[in-house]
Amino acid sequence: MTATRTERRTKIAKARNVLGEVISRARFAGEATILVNRGKEAAVIVPFDFYERATEALGEERVLIESEDD
pLDDT at residue 70 in the model? 60
pLDDT at residue 57 in the model? 96
pLDDT digits (tens, 9 = 90+) for 16-31: 999 999 999 999 999 9
pLDDT at residue 56 in the model? 96
Ranges of residues in the chain with a pLDDT under 50 are none
**DSSP assignment string, 9-69:** EEEHHHHHHTHHHHHHHHHHH--EEEEEETTEEEEEE--HHHHHHHHHHTTPPP-----TT
pLDDT at residue 67 in the model? 83
R_g of the chain computed on alpha carbons: 14
